[in-house]
Chains A and B, each alone.
Chain A
Amino acid sequence: MTWGLENVRVGFGRRIALDGVTVSAGPASVTVVVGGDGAGKSTCLKTLVGLVRPQAGSVRRPAKERIGYVPATAGLYADLTVQQNLDFSAGAYRLPAGQREQREQQLLERTGLAGVRRRLGGQLSGGMQRKLAVALALLHSPDLLVLDEPTTGVDPVSRAELWRLISAAAAQGTAVVVATTYVNEAARAASVVLLDAGRVLASGSPDAILRGVPGVVGTAAGAGRPGPLSWRRGTGWRVWAPDGELPAGAERAGPDFDDAVVVAELAAQAGR
């Protein structure tokens, strides 16, 4: 079963938060919704899980019992221990007693939280809190797992561990939708939706998005900015030439996913 949004519009008062957004999440795959701050990622995910009502379009989601959701705030109880947080989620999803213990133990080990099961949620590090939040969302083996920026503000090691958890869930058949501001994370996904100002700039597999980059991307060295359609990358510059004519001094380079995202945003700005 494929879940997702189809041509969804969401508004808050006069502000349009999502406009004609389509996101599709198939089983055993990871869909990444990527975009900058205020792009509409959280609204998109909240609409998918039923926290926000769309004004137009349709939403297809499993029953509540089959959804796992991690909000941007992690959504765990700071004044309950790790174990008590797990117990509450297990109770809310009515996990049978036998299955509950086994699943809790499994997830505690997988997240590396087994040693801190008696520690209060509020006393965990940021990365541990995120891992606990993902464990809570995975406890009932959902059909659809929705994670709102699970890796934001998390150190690289914890980020890698979180992605291992997410990938493992997908490998077991769960449809996963992850919102992130980290473009490099989008490259891991089966499909990517690039959001900007509530609109989809590009969507598809990372390869398809790369193939669809219009014009030519190049690199340039030097301190001076080579042109208006250029941006910093390391010590040099990346340049985008929509008409294929790179400025003098720039050399053609194969676009990577970071380039694809920046180009999509530049193209959208040019089109507005």
Chain B
Amino acid sequence: MWAMVAKEFRQLRRDRRTVAMMIVLPVVLLVVFGYAANFDVHDIPTVVVGPGARQAAASLRPPFRSIEVDPRGGEATARSKLQDGQAVVAVVTGGTDVDVLMDGTQLFSVETAEGALAKLSASTRATGRPAPRVRQQILYNPKLTTSWVMVPGLAGLILVFVGTLITSLGVVRERQTGTLEQLAVMPLRARDVIAGKIAPYLMVAAVDLTAIVLIGMGLFGVPFTGNVATFALGAALFLLVTLGMGVLISTVSQNQGQAIQLAFMIMLPQVLLSGLIFPVSSMAPGVRWISYVLPLTYFIQVSRGVMLKATPISALGQPLGLLALLAVVVLGLAIAAFRRDLAPSGRRGRRDAEPRDRGSETVAA
């Protein structure tokens, strides 16, 4: 038995990445997720409109935070702010009652807002002062159904799994079986290889996504209220990022085990830090920034916005733009890393004589 133990330790010592992951990762995960796992909402972006907007805004107390006060605006303005995701709560003044509109896609924020409003009305009643009646209305997800909010996010998570993990394994397999060497001598450009590698996965993932959305709609009654093309654009950009991540992982992994480890390191934070479960705004600032570099954070904004709120493309410029930026950066890095794998001799080699017929080359060190 001791011979076996000694052998295992020797092998483990050579696989430094695994050792590092075994020791460092649990500590990092505990700290990061400990700060991220928080259902308490302390900040609810609120827009106040109508003739009594200034007065109403002045009476707002945390967790409500007034982000815009528009005395000339009406209910349409309020609804538009909620639909575009700029505010979670909108207070509409001007009538005999005060209307409070809430974005039902923000489950925890709405629950916190409801509690805060109940407290406020109780304390107002206790003072005996006359106060306008508050009418609450939850938009987009009136019954605060969890599955309505989870399905658009889970669709993204499943795509992260398919895109990142499966793609990374596909390329590493080429390295392990020696076919990557064969690809390197073939007249293929790095970007062609990557495009060829990810195109089939892109198609499979697109079918996957369609199936997930349709099943979500059929089984859980999740509505799809927005524009399909906007959703498809967001999904395509998101898929490019996740597939690019898969390729990037494969270029820095020597075997499938390493690729799986790295893929999980990228997938786990997306589960907990993207806003899928815990509201991004509730996370400690020290870990919140991580959610801003995760593609799933932006895909969730797009998918929930389009499916549940019919958010127009004009209001999704930021998440779509950031997804596009991430796609360019990740795919650019993947191509650069892959090119290094495919053409090691071309990196620093100097071509002595430019071949006249492009039929040969002389490479001098």
Chain A residues close to B by CB (< 8 Å): 1, 3, 8-9, 46-47, 49-67, 69, 71-78, 89, 92-94, 143
Contact = CB atoms under 8 A, between A and B. Distances in A.
Nearest to A89: B186
A63 B360 contact: yes
A64 B365 contact: no
Contacts of A65: 187
A63 B361 contact: yes
Interface string B347-361: 111001001001111
A266 B83 CA distance: 84
A81 to B, nearest CB: 15
Contact of A52 (B345, B359, B362, B364): B345
Interface string B144-187: 00000000000000000000000000000000011101111111
B20 interface: no
A51 B344 contact: yes
A58 B185 contact: no
A54 B363 CA distance: 9
A53 B347 contact: yes
A134 B250 CA distance: 28
B344 A52 contact: yes
B198 to A, nearest CB: 17
B173 to A, nearest CB: 9
Given A69-B182, A69-B185, A73-B177, A62 B345 contact: no
Interface of B: 177-179, 181-188, 343-349, 352, 355, 358-365
B363 A59 contact: yes
11 contacts: A50-B185, A50-B343, A50-B363, A51-B345, A57-B364, A58-B363, A62-B359, A63-B358, A66-B359, A75-B179, A75-B181
A52 B355 CA distance: 20
Contacts of B344: 50-53
A74 B361 CA distance: 25
Contacts of A50: 184-185, 343-346, 363
Given A73-B177, A73-B178, A77-B179, A67 B345 contact: no
Contact of A92 (B186, B361, B362, B364): B186
Contacts of A61: 360-361, 363
A75 B365 contact: no
Contacts of A55: 365
B187 A56 contact: no
Given A69-B185, A78-B177, A58 B365 contact: yes
Contacts of A75: 178-179, 181-182
B267 to A, nearest CB: 25
B262 to A, nearest CB: 23
A163 to B, nearest CB: 22
Contacts of B183: 92
Choose among B182, B343, B349, B352 the residue with the greatest number of A CB atoms under 10 Å from its CB. Answer: B182
Contacts of A58: 352, 362-365
A74 B360 contact: no
Choose among A72, A75, A94 the residue with the greatest number of B CB atoms under 10 Å from its CB. Answer: A75
A143 B355 CA distance: 16
Contacts of B184: 50-51
Nearest to B343: A50
Contact of A54 (B346, B355, B361, B365): B365
B217 to A, nearest CB: 36
A142 B348 CA distance: 26
B182 A71 contact: yes
Nearest to B363: A59
Contact of A53 (B187, B348, B352, B361): B348
Contacts of A93: 186-187
B360 A1 contact: yes
A71 B178 contact: yes
A64 B185 contact: yes
Contacts of B349: 53-54
Given A69-B185, A92-B186, A59 B178 contact: no
B171 to A, nearest CB: 13
B345 A56 contact: no
A1 B353 CA distance: 15
A76 B355 CA distance: 31
A83 B300 CA distance: 44
A90 to B, nearest CB: 11
Given A53-B348, A54-B345, A61-B363, 16 more contacts: A1-B360, A9-B365, A47-B345, A51-B184, A51-B185, A53-B345, A53-B363, A56-B365, A58-B363, A58-B364, A59-B345, A59-B362, A63-B361, A69-B182, A92-B187, A93-B187
A54 B364 CA distance: 8
A100 to B, nearest CB: 15
Nearest to A8: B365
A104 B76 CA distance: 68
Choose among A49, A53, A61 the residue with the greatest number of B CB atoms under 10 Å from its CB. Answer: A53
Contacts of B188: 92
Contact of B365 (A57, A60, A63, A94): A57
Choose among A3, A51, A69 the residue with the greatest number of B CB atoms under 10 Å from its CB. Answer: A51
A142 to B, nearest CB: 10
Contacts of A66: 359-360
Top 3 closest pairs, chain A to chain B, by CB? A73-B178, A75-B182, A64-B187
Contact of B181 (A71, A77, A89): A71
